[in-house]
Amino acid sequence: MKKPNGTTVIRPDNFQQIVWPLPVGDLLYVGPQTNKKLNRNMIRTIGELANCPPDTLQTLLGQMGHVLWKFANGMDDSPVSKVGSTAPIKSVGNSTTTPVDLKTESDVKRTLNLLSESVAARLRDHGFRGYTVQIYIRDNTLNSFVRQMKLREPTQLAKIIFDTGMKLFRQCYSFATAKPIRSMGIRVSQLEPVSQYMQMSLFEHDMQNTKLEVIERMVDDLRKRFGYEILQRGLMYEDKRFLDIDPQGKHIIHPVGFFNGEA
């Protein structure tokens, strides 16, 4: 508020005077589309959002409406933790608002491929595999939904995460009847440590998965050393606008009280 070197003290007794007059678009997680939707409903400042009934915001924006209401009111009821403590990771996921609206299955493939590779790499970094794959879809009118599927065996492979995500997408979405997609996400949950024993298999597809894991770990290493863009799948070059998305390098730091246990 007093850039570049000033300090503003915001206390419980003055935050309404300092924060509430600010534009609602200044609030964390109010992106351009959410800002437009709030403005159309006569919510233009953080104070107007704070004083809007939570049920109304939830009807307007889904679950995120209630989260934004709590942000606007300076509320966080999460327990106090010791410095340096972290919550156990319950899921690993990533999402993105795409540079263009997704209007074809090829667009969805490119986006889910990027996100699946990011999630798989982070699962390996944290030493987890997961049983459940979940996708999140939000169209360009801000309507959203979530679908999930449980796997026969836990995985940390980008290919399996991507294939499952595409299967879920085809089951629940059709561009013939639905709106273009504005943002997508994919998540793996029901995690277990990689150190936990797994039943060995002699089936060919399971042996192929072992080879795939070696390959994906090599890709992880190359990207860490030379940058994410050093290796890309061929489908990404069919539309180079998607090459600007770096799902591993561009993360938002989420408020711990609202998004605890996710990586």
| pLDDT tens track for 1-16 | 777 778 888 888 999 9
> What tokens were used for 114?
């990027």
Contact 134, 148 (CB under 8 A): yes
Quick one: pLDDT at residue 80? 73
**pLDDT class of 186 with cuts at 50, 70, 90:** very high
What was the pLDDT predicted at 53? 93
**Burial (0-12, 13-18, 19+ Cβ within 10 Å), 131:** middle
Predicted confidence (pLDDT) at residue 172 exceeds the cutoff of 50 = yes
- Give the whole-angstrom CA distance, residue 258 versus residue 263: 13
Task: Quote the tokens at residue 202.
Answer: 């002699």
Spacing of C-alpha 85 from chain mean position: 23
Which pLDDT tens digit goes with each residue over 79-100? 776 766 556 778 898 888 887 8
Residue 41 has pLDDT above 90, yes or no: yes
Domain with CATH 1.10.150.20 in the chain: 15-72
123-142 confidence digits (pLDDT tens): 988 889 999 999 999 888 88
Q: Do 176 and 105 form a contact (C-beta atoms < 8 A)?
A: no
Residue that has been written with the tokens 């060919």 in this structure: 204
Domain with CATH 3.30.1490.100 in the chain: 91-244
Tell me, which fold does domain 15-72 have in CATH?
A: DNA polymerase; domain 1 (1.10.150)
Mean pLDDT of 233-240: 64
pLDDT at residue 169, as a whole number: 95
At 30, list the tokens.
């109010």
The span from the CA of 212 to the CA of 207, in Å, is: 9
Single-letter code of the amino acid located at 153: E
Residue 126, token pair as written in the block: 């944290």
Give Cβ neighbours of residue 61 (< 8 Å, ≥ 6 apart): 34, 37, 68, 142
Q: Count Cβ atoms below 10 Å from residue 37 Cβ, excluding itself.
A: 15
What does the alpha-carbon distance between residue 244 and residue 8 come to, in Å, rounded to a whole number? 35
The CATH code of the domain at 91-244 is: 3.30.1490.100
